[in-house]
C-alpha cells in the first residue's frame, strides 16, 4: 500500500479494509475471524488475566497505514476509543514519506529495578561495598531467569546513590537488566526481591522497597522526521507549528495536552499489542519532567531550507513476549500485522507514530483548528448515540455537518424526521 493511499483505505467498508490488511500481513482465516469477534478473548482467559472478572470489554481496533520507519512501511494496529487519531497518524505518515519517513534509534532494552535500603550508619562505605560485589550480585540476579539469560539478557550494570529523604538517608540501588524482547517488569522484580537479602548482608541495612522503575531511562527511543515546507502548507504554517511547539516546551499546562496528543498514538498501539499501558504512560510523563519542570517530549524547528523538522524522545518499555502479549488473542495478531521482529523494533514504530500524530495535531492547531476535522466523526458518534444506523445514520451525519449543527438533540430530531 502506498502512503498516499491512506484516504482511499479510510473510505473502504470495514470488511474490505480487513481483507487488505489480512492479505498484507498473511493472516489466516482463523485470525481474521478473531479480529471480527468481540468475544475472542474467552471468559476463561479473561479470568486468568485479572482479579474478580465479571465480563469482557471490547474496543474498536483501527489500523494506521502508510507509516514509514527506517525505510520500511508498517500497518499499525491501534485499540482505543478516540476519533480522528488513526487518520492523524496516517496523515503524518503521508507528510513524512516525502523525505523517507521517520528515522529512529534506541538505547537498547535495559530496565531498572530499584532496591531501597535504610538504617545504615556508614552509608557511603556501604554504597562502595555494593560495587565491590557487583559480580556476585549479577550472578545472583541472573540465576533467577535462565530463560532470559539464554536469550542474551540479564543484569548488565549496577548503580547506587545516597538519597536524602524526610525519614533519613536512603541507599538506592539500581539493578540494570537487559530484558531483551520482554517488557521485563516481572523479570526484574523477581531479581530485586531475590537479591535483597544479599544486599542487606553487604550493607548491613534493611531493604524496604524492591521494584522496577517505570522511568526507564535506559530504554529510550529517539525519532526524527523532516517535512518539506510545501507539504506542510508553506512557510507560515511551518512557523506557526514551530511557535505552537515552543509554547508546549515553555508551559506545562500546554505541555500536558501536547504530550497527551503524542500518547494518543502510542497508547493505542500499546493496548493493541497487549502491553502495559500504565507503565508506558508513567514512563513518558516522568521523562517529560526529568529536568525538574514538566515539558514537551517533542521538538519542532525549521531547517536552513525552511523545512519542518521534528524529534521525539521517550522511554518505551514494551515487549513482544511476556505479560498479556501472548495471552490476549488479538495482541498476537496485532504483532503479526505490525510484522516487528523485536521489542526494540516495536518500540521504535510506537515512538515514530507518536511523532507523526504530534505533527498532524500541530498542523491542525496551527491552521484550521482541531474541531473541523474532528466534527464529522463526532457527528457520527452522536448519530449512533441517538440510535441511528446504516443509511439513516449517514444522512444524519451529512446534514449535521452541512448545517454545522452538531449536537445530540438535533441528531434525535433528525432521526425522528427520517422516521427511524
Ligand atoms: P513475563 O514474566 O510474563 O515474561 C518475561 C519472561 O519471558 C522473561 O523473564 C523470560 O524468562 C521469558 N522470555 C522468553 N523469551 C524471551 C525473550 N526473547 N526475551 C526476553 N525474555 C524472554 O513478563 P515481563 O515482561 O517480565 O513483565 C511484564 C508484565 O509485568 C506486564 O504484564 C506488566 O503489566 C507487569 N508488571 C508491571 C509492573 C510495572 O510496570 N510497574 C509491575 C509489576 C508487573
Query: Which residue from 255, 286, 337, 376 is spatially nearest to 79, judged by alpha carbons?
Result: 337
**Ligand 1 center to 320 CA (angstroms):** 9
**Ligand 1 center to 182 CA (angstroms):** 5
Is-catalytic flag, 260? yes
- The whole-model pTM stands at 0.92
| pLDDT the model gives residue 3 | 58
| pLDDT the model gives residue 5 | 82
| pLDDT the model gives residue 1 | 60
* 404: phi then psi, degrees, rounded to nearest 5: 50, 40
Are 227 and 98 in contact by the 8 Å Cβ rule? The answer is yes
Are 37 and 299 in contact by the 8 Å Cβ rule? The answer is no
Which one-letter DSSP state was computed for residue 324?
A: T
| pLDDT the model gives residue 378 | 80
Q: What are the pocket residues of ligand 1 if the criterion is a CB atom closer than 6 Å to any ligand atom? A: 145, 147-148, 151, 153, 179-187, 189, 212, 214, 276, 279, 319, 321-324
Which strand ranges, in their side-by-side order, compose the sheet holding 298-302?
103-106, 220-227, 308-315, 298-302
**pLDDT < 70: residue spans in the chain:** 1-4, 370-371, 373, 420
Grid cell 500536558 in the structure block, residue: 256
Is-catalytic flag, 276? yes
Query: Ligand 1 atom closest to Cα of 179?
Result: 20
Is-catalytic flag, 127? no
Select which of 82, 119, 159, 251 is catalytic: 82
Is-catalytic flag, 395? no
**Ligand 1 center to 187 CA (angstroms):** 5
Select which of 31, 178, 218, 276 is catalytic: 276
| pLDDT the model gives residue 267 | 98
Select which of 45, 260, 378, 412 is catalytic: 260
Amino acid at each position: 500500500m502506498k502512503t498516499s493511499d491512506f484516504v482511499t483505505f479510510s473510505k473502504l467498508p470495514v470488511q474490505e479494509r480487513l481483507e487488505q490488511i489480512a492479505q498484507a500481513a498473511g493472516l489466516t482465516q482463523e485470525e481474521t475471524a478473531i479480529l471480527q469477534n468481540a468475544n475472542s478473548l474467552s471468559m476463561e482467559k479473561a479470568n486468568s488475566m485479572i482479579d474478580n472478572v465479571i465480563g469482557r470489554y471490547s474496543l474498536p481496533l483501527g489500523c494506521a497505514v502508510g507509516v514509514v520507519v527506517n525505510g520500511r512501511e508498517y500497518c499499525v494496529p491501534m485499540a482505543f476509543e478516540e476519533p480522528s487519531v488513526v487518520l492523524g497518524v496516517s496523515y503524518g505518515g503521508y507528510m513524512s514519506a516525502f523525505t523517507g519517513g521517520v528515522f529512529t534509534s534506541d538505547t537498547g532494552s535495559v530496565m531498572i529495578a530499584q532496591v531501597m535500603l535504610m538504617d545504615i550508619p556508614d552509608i557511603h562505605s556501604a554504597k562502595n561495598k555494593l560495587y565491590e560485589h557487583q559480580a556476585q550480585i549479577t550472578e545472583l540476579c541472573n540465576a533467577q531467569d535462565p530463560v532470559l539469560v539464554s536469550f542474551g539478557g540479564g543484569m548488565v550494570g549496577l548503580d547506587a546513590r545516597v538519597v536524602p529523604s524526610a525519614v533519613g538517608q536512603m541507599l538506592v540501588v539500581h539493578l540494570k537488566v537487559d530484558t531483551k524482547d520482554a517488557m521485563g517488569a516481572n523479570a526484574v522484580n523477581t531479581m530485586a526481591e531475590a537479591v535483597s537479602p544479599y544486599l542487606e548482608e553487604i550493607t548491613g541495612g534493611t531493604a524496604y522497597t524492591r521494584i522496577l522503575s517505570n522511568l526507564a531511562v535506559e530504554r529510550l527511543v529517539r525519532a526524527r522526521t523532516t517535512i518539506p515546507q510545501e507539504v506542510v502548507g508553506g512557510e507560515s504554517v511551518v512557523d506557526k507549528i514551530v511557535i505552537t511547539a515552543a509554547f508546549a516546551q515553555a508551559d506545562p499546562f500546554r505541555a500536558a495536552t501536547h504530550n497527551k496528543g503524542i500518547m494518543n498514538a502510542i497508547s493505542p498501539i500499546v493496548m493493541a499489542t497487549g502491553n502495559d499501558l500504565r507503565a508506558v504512560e508513567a514512563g513518558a510523563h516522568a521523562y517529560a519532567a526529568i529536568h525538574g519542570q514538566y515539558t514537551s517530549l517533542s521538538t519542532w524547528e525549521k531547517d536552513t531550507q525552511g523545512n519542518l523538522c521534528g524529534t521525539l524522545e521517550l522511554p518505551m518499555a514494551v515487549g513482544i513476549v511476556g505479560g498479556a502479549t501472548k495471552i490476549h488473542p488479538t495482541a498476537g495478531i496485532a504483532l503479526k500485522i505490525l510484522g516487528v521482529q523485536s521489542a526494540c523494533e516495536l518500540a521504535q514504530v510506537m515512538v515514530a507514530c507518536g511523532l507523526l500524530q504530534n505533527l498532524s495535531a500541530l498542523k491542525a492547531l496551527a491552521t484550521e483548528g482541531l474541531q473541523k476535522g474532528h466534527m464529522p466523526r463526532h457527528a457520527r458518534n452522536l448519530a449512533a448515540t441517538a440510535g441511528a444506523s446504516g443509511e439513516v445514520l449517514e444522512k444524519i451525519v451529512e446534514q449535521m455537518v452541512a448545517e454545522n449543527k452538531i449536537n445530540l438533540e438535533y441528531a434525535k430530531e433528525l432521526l425522528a424526521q427520517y422516521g427511524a
